[in-house]
A and B are shown apart, each in its own frame.
Chain A
Amino acid sequence: MDLISESGSAILTSFGLTLRLAVFSGIFSLLLGVVLATFRVSPVPVLRWIGAAVVYTFRNTPLTLVMFFTLFGLSYQLGFSFDKDLLYRNNFWLAVLALSVYTSTFVCEVLRAGINTVPLGQAEAARAIGLTFTQNLRLVVLPQALRSVINPLASVLIAMTKNTTVAVTIGVTTATMVNEASGQMKSLMERNSDQILLIFIIFAVGFMILTLPIGFIAGWAAKRFAVIR
């Protein structure tokens, strides 16, 4: 139990960082996913093309590649930076950017499947009372589409939470140089090679504590907000 007393607070801190990555990326990927889905069903061809291009590009590239690109391409090569002075802060937001864009393409496609479950007649009825395209989407189609895809969306968010571990590739740390969970696990194993199994278990359980509630809440919400047909 030396491990816990020595490194317990560092482990907690690392999961705190992982949680922050997941929460921010979750929020932005949902928002961006809605925007992308709107583009993809828009009556304006240019918007549909943009939506499709973003989805095809980022859904089909490995997250590690996207993550590297934000640091080496966007930040080093193109000079874009969230924070010029604090490297750890810049890297954190670059990781959030990569995770958000990457995950939003999955959110978009799940939403599009949800849009297809809303009977076409309701969208026609909404047009018939004079709602514009965006009002129709916002007030009639998306609220129902969202409710029908709560569970698949939860799967996307769970995958995203686990994908925060890819942030280790661009060295995302806290101000006190604690890595996010997977980086922390790696350095703990290097220092405590006699307790590798225990470390594995601690981190696996840690991730389950983060992800299990997503599934439970989604299961409850899907029932609570189900549209009666």
Chain B
Amino acid sequence: MVLDHVDKHYGDLHVLQDINLEIKRGEVVVVIGPSGSGKSTLCRTINRLETIDSGTITLDGKELPAEGKGLAKLRAEVGMVFQSFNLFAHKTILQNVTLGPMKVRKLKKAEAEAEAKKLLDRVGVGAQAAKYPAQLSGGQQQRVAIARALAMKPQVMLFDEPTSALDPEMVKEVLDVMVSLAKEGMTMIVVTHEMGFARVAADRVVFMADGQIVESNTPSEFFDNPQSERAKDFLGKILKH
């Protein structure tokens, strides 16, 4: 996955400035940075939930289609997990996971359900399959959301602050699932404030500020020996406590 000279404006605000980023197969990239630095926007442009003004984004050498069926097809290859879970409220947990495989991949119901149950077991919510999203805790809902994205067998998984809306005690259960995914070789782009996760699971940390990529390094180098003033200032503020 390659982002080449990507630019985006919201009115006068230049939210993404000349972003160049290459993610290799199996690589886990953690994007950190202060609020409003454009990291969520970056994540959302990758499956075109946000449009870009200029530059190109390519997956497997193919450029992102702008709209229509081609775009829908591409999105099926890119799994996305949101801060606010966004489970389909009128469908059961099982139906949440089988919807994509059945309607997009055209899998038979039995096949999709067997696959979905495996995934739900894997993220530890298999027992909740018949319930509705509102009956689950935040941590459980987010793990279902991960299973829903995985059910499409995506090439890349995007995580947009997946633990920011969770109670502290539920953060770990979600991070555990993400760490095991990373260990299994899933290509992942993770926007997060969880520095612990970045240290354990990331191959590379990308630090963003004011719409630019300021620094990009291995986690140990970045945390122990930040190069830019902006990164030093940011780490100084968050690591003091």
Q: In residues 91-123 of chain B, which contact A (Cβ within 8 Å)? A: 99-100, 103-104
Q: Which residues of B contact A139 (CB under 8 A)?
A: 99, 103
Q: How far is it, in angstroms, between the C-alpha of A173 and the C-alpha of B86 when the chains are bound?
A: 53
Query: Can you list 21 pairs linking A and B with CB atoms under 8 Å apart?
Result: A43-B67, A121-B82, A124-B49, A125-B80, A125-B86, A125-B88, A125-B145, A125-B148, A127-B49, A127-B75, A128-B75, A128-B79, A129-B104, A131-B99, A132-B69, A132-B72, A135-B104, A144-B89, A147-B90, A229-B89, A229-B134
User: What are the interface flags for B113-137 relative to A under an 8 Å C-beta threshold, 1 for contact and 0 otherwise?
Assistant: 0000000000000000000111100
Residue positions of B touching A, CB distance < 8 A = 47, 49, 67, 69, 72-80, 82, 84-90, 99-100, 103-104, 132-135, 145, 148-149, 152
Task: Say if the beta carbon of A79 comes within 8 Å of chain B.
Answer: no
Tell me if A119 counts as interface (CB < 8 A to partner B).
yes
List which A21-46 residues lie within 8 A (CB) of chain B.
43
Q: Which residues of A contact B132 (CB under 8 A)?
A: 228
Asked if A170 is at the interface of the complex by the 8 Å CB criterion, the answer is: no
**Bound Cα distance from A125 to B133, whole angstroms:** 14
Per a CB cutoff under 8 Å, which of B67, B79, B90, B100 touches A131? B100
CB distance from B22 to the nearest CB of A (A): 22
Residues of B within 8 A of A218 (CB): none
Residues of chain A within 8 A of B84, CB atoms compared: 119, 121
Query: Are B49 and A131 touching (Cβ within 8 A)?
Result: no
- Closest partner residue, chain A, to B48 (CB atom): A127
Are the CB atoms of A121 and B75 closer together than 8 Å? no
- How far, in angstroms, from A229 to B47 measured CA to CA in the complex? 27
Partner of A129, one of B69, B133, B134, B148: B148
* Most chain B beta-carbon neighbours within 10 Å: one of A124, A130, A132: A130
- A69 → B minimal CB distance (Å): 38
**A122 x B152 contact (CB < 8 A):** no
Q: Are B49 and A135 in contact (CB under 8 A)?
A: no
Q: Determine if B135 and A128 form an interchain contact, defined as CB atoms under 8 angstroms apart.
A: no
* List of A residues within 8 angstroms of B104 by Cβ: 129-131, 135
> In chain A, what residue has the closest Cβ to B47?
A128
The answer to whether B82 touches A130 (Cβ under 8 A) is no
Known: A125-B80, A128-B47, A128-B80. A228 touches B86 (CB 8 A): no
Instruction: Chain B residues near A228: list those with CB within 8 A.
Output: 89, 132-135
Binding site secondary structure of chain A: helix
B-binding residues in A (CB < 8 A): 43, 119, 121-122, 124-132, 135, 139-140, 143-144, 147, 227-229
Query: Given the known A-B contacts A140-B88, A144-B89, are A128 and B99 also in contact in the complex, defined by CB atoms under 8 Å?
Result: no
Complex alpha-carbon distance, A119 and B83, angstroms: 13
Q: Are A130 and B76 in contact (CB under 8 A)?
A: yes
Q: Which 9 A-B pairs have the closest CB atoms?
A: A130-B76, A129-B100, A125-B86, A121-B86, A128-B80, A228-B134, A130-B104, A130-B75, A227-B90
With A122-B86, A228-B135: A130-B49 Cβ-Cβ less than 8 Å: no
Contacts of A129 in B (CB 8 A): 75-76, 79, 99-100, 104, 148-149, 152
- In the complex, what residue of chain A is closest to B105 when comparing beta carbons? A130
Shortest Cβ distance from residue B126 to the other chain A in the assembled complex, whole angstroms: 20
| Contact status B86-A119, CB under 8 Å | yes
Residue contact A227 to B89, C-beta cutoff 8 Å: yes
**Given the complex, which residues of B lie within 8 Å of A135, measured CB to CB?**
103-104
Complex contacts, B88 vs chain A, CB 8 Å: 122, 125-126, 140
Q: Which residues of B contact A119 (CB under 8 A)?
A: 84, 86, 89
Q: Which residue of B lies closest to A125 (CB)?
A: B86
In angstroms, Cα B132 to Cα A121, docked, is 17
Alpha-carbon gap, A223 to B76, bound state (A): 35
Q: Which of chain A's residues have a CB closer than 8 A to the CB of B99?
A: 129, 131, 139-140
Q: Cβ of B75: which chain A residues have Cβ within 8 Å of it?
A: 127-130
